């Protein structure tokens, strides 16, 4: 009887140790990714212990539910492609590895033109997403960063930011495209960013910045305008019409702002 109890105890202990080993699995990552690679849920969390570069022609696939934790001032630079498609119930998370995370704990993700990011949370970075191309970024939550999304110069490509939530950063979206094409920023939730929801600097070419049909946390046009700074740019951030709620209906068509580059007829319908 004593032997049987001893055997059962050893078996139970083995199960516990096996479970603990499984539940505490982690994978350290850094350096250059030179062949197609998948970061799996079984290997999560992935602890970034150095800068990561995804070579051209190489795909980094990240499975739903994976957590990527940056253990220092590191970045993820994608010259190939990152395929990070989470789900509503299993988001992919890029975050800090610090026990008390803060804005700027790590650097940024720079996705390529062919990258796909959906149902991804990006938090506690210096620049959450840093881009000068047009990756497919939708249904992402960008929060608690110094700059949520930083859009930089590209001579030919206009960045599109569509259907994301960008909140609780210092700057929600920072636009510095110089003489390049202006971005399109539509159907997002952009609010509660402490300095500005959108700031436009050094932008000298093209039309107004199309920031229509977003939810700004309010329907007060004066408050919306006060959280947008385009004073350092010759281009105007055009935020009207805007949504009356998250995923709501467009309102504010009666507001007129920005430069008029073509014939415009004012009608009684919107007066």
- In this predicted structure, the answer to whether residue 264 has a pLDDT above a threshold of 70 is no
Q: Which tens digits make up the pLDDT trace of 74-85?
A: 999 999 999 999
- In this predicted structure, the answer to whether residue 258 has a pLDDT above a threshold of 60 is no
The pTM for the full model equals 0.86
**pLDDT reported for residue 257:** 58
Q: Which tens digits make up the pLDDT trace of 133-188?
A: 999 999 999 999 999 999 998 888 889 999 999 999 999 999 998 877 889 999 99
Q: Three-state SS across the chain?
A: CHHHHHHHHHHHHHHHHHHHHHHCCCEEEEEEECCCEEECCCCCCEEEEEEEEECCCCEEEECCCCEEEECCCCCEEECCEEEEECCCCCCEEEEECCCCCCCCCECCEECCCCCEEECEEEECECEEEEECCCCEEECCEEECCCEEEEEECCCCCCCEEECCEEECCCEEEEEECCCCCCCEEECCEEECCCCEEEEEECCCCCCCEECCCCECCCCCHHHHHHCEEEEECCCCEECCCEECCCCCCEECCCCCCCCCCCCCCCCHHHC
Mean pLDDT rounded to a whole number for the chain:
88
- In this predicted structure, the answer to whether residue 12 has a pLDDT above a threshold of 50 is no
- In this predicted structure, the answer to whether residue 199 has a pLDDT above a threshold of 80 is yes
Percent of the chain with pLDDT over 70: 82
Rounded to an integer, the average pLDDT of 30-58 is 98
Sorting pLDDT into bands at 50, 70 and 90, what band is 4? Answer: very low
Residue 232 pairs with which residues in a beta bridge?
201
Rounded to an integer, the average pLDDT of 112-123 is 98
- In this predicted structure, the answer to whether residue 22 has a pLDDT above a threshold of 50 is no
Q: Which tens digits make up the pLDDT trace of 119-140?
A: 999 999 999 999 999 999 999 9
- In this predicted structure, the answer to whether residue 58 has a pLDDT above a threshold of 50 is yes
- In this predicted structure, the answer to whether residue 5 has a pLDDT above a threshold of 60 is no
**pLDDT reported for residue 3:** 44
**pLDDT reported for residue 49:** 98
């Amino acid at each position: 009887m004593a032997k049987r109890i001893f055997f059962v105890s050893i078996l139970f202990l083995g199960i516990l140790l096996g479970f603990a080993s499984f539940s505490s699995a982690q994978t350290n990552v850094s350096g250059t990714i030179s062949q197609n690679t998948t970061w799996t849920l079984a290997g999560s969390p992935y602890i970034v212990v150095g800068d990561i570069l995804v070579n051209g022609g190489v795909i980094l696939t990240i499975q739903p539910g994976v957590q990527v934790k940056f253990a220092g001032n590191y970045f993820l630079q994608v010259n190939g492609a990152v395929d990070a498609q989470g789900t509503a119930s299993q988001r992919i998370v890029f975050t800090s590895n610090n026990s008390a995370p803060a804005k700027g704990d790590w650097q940024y993700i720079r996705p390529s033109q062919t990258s796909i990011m959906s149902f991804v949370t990006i938090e506690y970075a210096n620049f959450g997403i840093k881009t000068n191309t047009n990756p497919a970024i939708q249904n992402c939550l960008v929060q608690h960063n110094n700059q949520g999304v930083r859009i930089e110069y590209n001579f030919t490509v206009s960045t599109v930011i569509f259907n994301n939530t960008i909140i609780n950063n210092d700057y929600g979206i920072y636009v510095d495209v110089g003489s390049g094409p202006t971005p399109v920023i539509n159907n997002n939730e952009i609010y509660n960013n402490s300095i500005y929801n959108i700031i436009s600097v050094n932008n000298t070419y093209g039309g107004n910045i199309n920031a229509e049909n977003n939810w700004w946390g309010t329907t007060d046009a004066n408050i919306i305008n006060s959280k947008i700074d385009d004073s350092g740019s010759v281009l105007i951030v055009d935020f009207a019409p805007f949504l009356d709620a998250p995923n709501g209906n467009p309102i504010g068509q009666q507001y007129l702002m920005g430069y008029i580059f073509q014939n415009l007829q004012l009608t009684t319908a919107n007066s």
